[in-house]
Amino acid sequence: MKRRSLFLLPLLALPARLFGQDSPRRSTKAARSRQVSDDAEPPATSRRARNLAEDTEPANPDTGPEATVPDSVPANFPNQAGFQWQNFPIGDYTALDPNATSPQTAIIDWIFRRTTPAPWHGDKIAVLCASRTQLRAYNSIKVLKQVAEVVERFTDSQADILSIRVRFIAAADSRWRYAVHQRLTPIGNGPQGQQIWHTSAADAEGVIAQMALWQGFKLLGNTSVEVLNGQTLKFDQTQARGFNGGVQRESTVGLGFQPKVENLMEGVVLKFSPLLSYEGDTLDAAIELSTNLVRKLHPVRVLAPREVGPGELTLDVPEVSETRLNQPIKNWPLGQTLIISAGIQPGILMDKEGFLKLRIPGTVPTSTELLVVINAEIVNKKGAERAATARKASS
């Protein structure tokens, strides 16, 4: 027993931390550090408070007079070298149309057109978002300068409201170019051979007047609307074409299956977004033009169970063609008329059955060219108002 006690005495003298126990001094320090961290205000709250006052911060000279820089990035957001935050007030623009659901979306769309989507979807984190009062961007200095240029064209443009007139024309054939082709300035082409020109308003009206004298000319649509600078308009000139697409069982007892009538939409749809330059003498336009043409319905007979009548039904197989044009137009001079050729669309929005539905040659349209004629004008001018305000301020 005495030897066993002598052996245990050195073990009792070892430090307590070797037995998995913390010393009282370390526990007190850990408790004190936890108490300090619990009493301190989280950094997210202070940054959020600073962001609420961002409209009063000084302008950033690198990206334009209306851009402001917050003190720091949002909480828990990685700060990347060469990138910075910029805030742009856009409330003056969105307030022009209080009934619009999301007018700030147009600014986002035009920023993507200006910068392309690539800088926002690369290896580095980038941010672009907007409310009705403010647009926020996080990217490189070069991209932020482009963002500032687009925002300025919305918030400090020469005019707020534009008048847009769109006419859809089915020309008898493509020979309308003969006398005016040298006065057409080509500015773009589409993937299916579509062509885009601009010309003087007088020459454009002369072309339309000349077409009206030809047999087969048809004005399919003529619409004039006013739009807020930068917003998107949609012009829809379509009609339903019915065909027997399948079979269905009639509720009437004894009839069995009957042809099911379905619809195809034939026509042209134009989405058009104009954006004035800062000087107000030209505009950029985003154009999305799609056409859908039902060329022919091919009949086919099928067997169908029927209690009464023959066991065959006639269905239709549609022959349909579609074209699409997605083209930005830059530096379109105001006062000039834009003419778009959507290509040959035989009998679009016209009767294609021919005389007595026999499709006799010469009675069915075969070379109809679809044209879109667009005019844009400024409704109100803000440049004179700004100049008068500047003169009053200087005096």
Cα 168 to Cα 181: distance, rounded to the nearest angstrom: 19
The answer to whether 198 and 187 are in contact (CB under 8 A) is: yes
> Tens digit of pLDDT for each residue in 290-319?
999 999 899 999 988 776 767 788 999 999
Q: Are 271 and 145 found together in one domain?
A: no
With b meaning 16 or more CB within 10 Å and e meaning fewer, what string describes 173-188?
A: eeebbeebeeebeebb
**pLDDT at residue 364, rounded to an integer:** 63
Q: Are 107 and 225 found together in one domain?
A: no
**Residue 5 is assigned to a structural domain of this protein:** no
Mean pLDDT, the chain cut into blocks of 10 residues (395 residues total): 45 43 42 42 39 41 47 73 93 91 96 95 93 95 96 91 95 84 92 94 88 79 95 95 87 72 95 92 95 93 78 91 94 94 90 58 73 93 54 57
Q: Are 180 and 52 found together in one domain?
A: no
Say what the alpha-carbon torsion angle 234, 238, 244, 248 is, to the nearest 10 degrees.
Answer: 40
Query: Which domain-ending residue is among 136, 155, 174?
Result: 155
Q: Are 120 and 215 found together in one domain?
A: no
**Residue 234 is assigned to a structural domain of this protein:** yes
Could you list the residue range(s) of the whole structural domain that residue 219 is in?
A: 161-378
**Residue 97 is assigned to a structural domain of this protein:** yes
Q: Are 248 and 118 found together in one domain?
A: no
Query: Which domain-ending residue is among 155, 177, 200?
Result: 155
**Residue 298 is assigned to a structural domain of this protein:** yes
Domain count, the chain: 2
**In terms of pTM, does the model score above 0.95?**
no
Q: Are 131 and 145 found together in one domain?
A: yes
Q: Are 340 and 191 found together in one domain?
A: yes
Q: Are 327 and 284 found together in one domain?
A: yes
**Residue 26 is assigned to a structural domain of this protein:** no
**Residue 331 is assigned to a structural domain of this protein:** yes
Query: Which domain-ending residue is among 102, 134, 155?
Result: 155
Q: Are 196 and 98 found together in one domain?
A: no
**pLDDT at residue 222, rounded to an integer:** 95
Q: Residue 20: left if φ>0, alpha if ψ -120 to 50, beta else—which one?
A: left
**pLDDT at residue 162, rounded to an integer:** 94
Cα 23 to Cα 21: distance, rounded to the nearest angstrom: 7
Whose CA is closest to 263, among 234, 239, 231?
239
**Residue 14 is assigned to a structural domain of this protein:** no
**pLDDT at residue 17, rounded to an integer:** 42
**Residue 183 is assigned to a structural domain of this protein:** yes
> Tens digit of pLDDT for each residue in 161-189?
999 999 999 988 888 888 888 999 999 99
Cα 107 to Cα 374: distance, rounded to the nearest angstrom: 23
**pLDDT at residue 71, rounded to an integer:** 42
